[in-house]
Structure 1
Amino acid sequence: MKCPGQDTLYWKPGAIYEVPCPQCGASVEFFKDDTARKCPECQHRFVNPNMDFGCAAYCQYAEQCIGTLPEEFLEQKEDLLKDRVAIEMKRYFKSDFRRIGHAMRVARHAERINRAEGGNPAVVLCAAYLHDIGIVLAEKKYDSSAARYQEQEGPAVAREILERLGAKAPLVDEVCDIVGHHHHSREEETLNFKVLYDADLIANLEDAKKENGIAPEKIESIIAKKFLTDAGREEARRSLLN
């Protein structure tokens, strides 16, 4: 049985459409599941601008189903993956809205910082959603949410989620590495780790400021000494001092 999304029997009006060639302007007919086509006039091959990846963002059989994805779409595919990871994180934490909210704020800060720093958005945002995923097991096993227990238990949970969603091995490995030491920076760190570290620190400082109050001078001192990126420092000042 064909996937309903790829079976023309289930297609609705608008599933076949024409797109102007970006080179010569000639009309090129696309089926909605075409990843790319060649212009009949100038022979320029270009990707389908209306392609909807849907389940291909996380299905392990995507390439068998719709063919090898064009390189131009790989970033979009990973972008859809992080949205799936966000959903899985919420399911894992269930009704723990405090931790869900923390992860969402870390992701929001990470996205802003990463936009300026130029890291890999898929790695950064998947790590942001999953960085505290080890807390549940840490509390069950050790009756503690201490950082070292989070880091000890988190990578295995993160790996299971990412592999189940069909993430590629290099992305899985890097995200799990970040999750496994996200509170403790090493002497040499990747840009992706630095972005996540700064975003998490901002969210933690927001919580501390709300619960106990922190003097602006203390916040400024932490920003100057603890943050790892220029964009992280700027984001921290915008979020914590303005």
Structure 2
Amino acid sequence: MKCPGQDTQYWKEDAIYEVKCPECGGNVEFFKDDSARKCEHCGHRFPNPRMDFGCAAYCKYAKQCIGDLAPELLAQRDSLLKDRVAVEMKRYFKTDFKRIGHATRVARYAEAIGKQEDADIAVIMSAAYLHDIGIHEAERRHGSTAAVHQEKEGPPIARSILEKLGAETELIEEVCDIVGHHHHPRSEETLNFKVVYDADLIENLSEQLKKNAVTEEKLNHLLETAFLTPSGREEARRVLSAN
């Protein structure tokens, strides 16, 4: 069955419209399922400004339905997925604003580092929002929030959230792997893991520094030895020097 949103028999009059070319101002005709069109007046190709990829953030048939997207629209799809993961994380933690705040800040650092390192934004943002998702189960089952318990309880919950959103299997597997050992790097790690690890480390160190001051020498040592990516080290320097 074809998606009703893309099946022309369900289209209305507003399914075909004209958009001003951002380069020359000429009119360019778009069908609502066109991802991009070239301006006949100046030759400039640009993405469809009215195309809604909300369903593409979670629909397992998105690739077949919308085909190969322009880079701008792929970025939009990644943003939609990370936003939905963030919402589900907040729903899961409910009124635990401490954990919500922590995850949100880690995700913000991960996005900044990931863009510099050219990591997979959809993977790192999903993993950043969900990295501590097992903490409540760790407390309930083990009476402890120790990293080893979080890492054991987190992946099944992360998987259920991502499956609910219809995320791709490959993304789910990588995110769950990161969640399952996010405090314990292996001898060989993926770039996506390194980005999330560095982002979490920044936030954990930031929280520690608010409680206990450290010498500049010790802080510099941490910056030089504890981080796994150059961009993580630079982001840490920016954030921690402000504490």
Category of TM-score, reference length = shorter chain:
0.7 to 0.9
**Structure 2 equivalent of residue 200 of structure 1:** 200
Greater displacement, 67-76 / 81-90? 67-76
Larger deviation: 94-103 or 37-46?
37-46
Cα deviation, residue 162, structure 1: 0.8
Which stretches in structure 2 are left out of the alignment for 5+ residues? Answer: none
Identity percentage of aligned residues: 60
Aligned residue-pair number: 236
Distance 1:157 1:216, change over 3 A: same
**Which stretch of structure 1 is more off in the superposition, 128-137 or 32-41?**
32-41
1:83-232 counterparts in 2 under 5 A?
A: 83-232=83-232
Secondary structure in 1 matching 2:66: coil
Encode CA deviations 1:159-201: one digit per residue, 9 max, x unaligned.
1111111111111111111101000111111111111111100
TM, length-normalised to structure 1 = 0.84
Determine the C-alpha separation between the residues in 2 that align with 1:23 and 1:206: 45
1:108-141 CA distance string (max 9 Å, x none): 1111111211111111111110000011111111
Contact 2:60 2:168 in 1 (8 A): no
RMSD, matched Cα? 3.0
CA distance in 2, matches of 1:228, 1:31: 46
Q: Where does structure 1 lack aligned partners over 5 or more consecutive residues?
A: none
In 2: Cα distance, 1:215 partner to 1:93 partner: 35
TM-score (norm. length: structure 2): 0.84
Q: Quote the offset at 1:212 in angstroms.
A: 2.5
